[in-house]
Amino acid sequence: MRDEGAGSEARARRDLARPGGPVKPRPSYRTIDREEVPPGNPIDLTVHRRIGGARLQRDLARAAQAVVEALGRRRRVWFAYEELLAKITDRRQAAYFDLGVEHGIATARATTIAGGRKTVNALAQRVVRDLIRTGVARDEVVAALLVAAWAVMGRRMVRATTSMPR
């Protein structure tokens, strides 16, 4: 059986001898395996439970630890990969949230403006849903809607506006 203390002392001396001082140890994936979701955000907690997050996080932590151990000295490659993956994940989550909020606000506005007219409300909801899916900038969407409204109104709109008193 080897002496664990002697190895850690030698490692500490080696770390201090490196340029830039000691290297901060990264947390082990095994410690992440034991982390719980903080009880503060009910949405995060509900999603965590719904997808079986605890089990999936344990499995992911074990797999990541195995990759880090297999890479040995080249483990920085894995950490760079994880950092990029985290950026992509964060941006995707923010985009999903933003799109959900935009869709909800636009849908609520359409419902309010349509009032009790069910056909108008249904069409407005469909148009809102279709336009948000395009991902086109808001000012372009408004311009397209105005062009479409003008096209649907056709010549009747032109006649109605020209016959109105000024």
**75-124 confidence digits (pLDDT tens):** 889 889 889 988 998 898 888 888 888 888 888 888 898 888 999 889 98
- In angstroms, rounded to a whole number, what is the distance separating the alpha carbons of residues 51 and 145? 39
Q: Which amino acid is at 142?
A: V
Which token pair is 74?
């080249």
pTM: 0.49
How far are the Cα atoms of 61, 110, 116, 125, 126 from residue 120, in angstroms, in the given order? 51, 9, 9, 9, 10
- Provide the token pair at 106: 């636009």
Displacement of CA 142 from its chain's centroid (Å):
26
